[in-house]
Amino acid sequence: MDTHSEYFRLRRKDIAYFKFIIESHEGMAVVRTKDPREAIVELMIAPGWEKDVEEVLDGLRKEIWIESLPVYP
């Protein structure tokens, strides 16, 4: 399956919550912590789920701080 990745910076304390919420929508996306010290996560989005991911992220942004990153090496 081809996924595309988006990167975000969170507060470290919010990584587990972010991962739980995203991955509770089975098949939508997978979260991988790229840099635990900087609290940067990679969101690997399954094809066809982009709109749903945006809706979930919009809801999460009302609860926790999420900074979108253009690219992460």
Query: What digits encode the pLDDT tens for the residues 5-14?
Result: 999 999 999 9
The boundaries of the domain holding residue 65 are: 1-8+40-73
pLDDT of residue 1: 60
What integer best gives the mean pLDDT of the chain? 94
pLDDT of residue 71: 77
Mean pLDDT of 49-58: 96
Of residues 49 and 1, the one with the higher pLDDT is 49
The answer to the question of residue 64 being in a domain is yes
CA–CA dist 28, 6 (Å, integer): 13
CA 28 to each of CA 9, 10, 11: distance values in angstroms, whole numbers, following the listed order: 20, 20, 23
CA–CA dist 70, 61 (Å, integer): 17
The answer to the question of residue 20 being in a domain is no
The answer to the question of residue 35 being in a domain is no
Angle at 19 between CA 22 and CA 49, to 5 degrees: 25
pLDDT tens-place string over residues 15-32: 999 999 999 999 999 999
Specify the number of domains making up the chain.
Answer: 1
User: Residue 39: left (phi > 0), alpha (psi -120 to 50), or beta?
Assistant: left
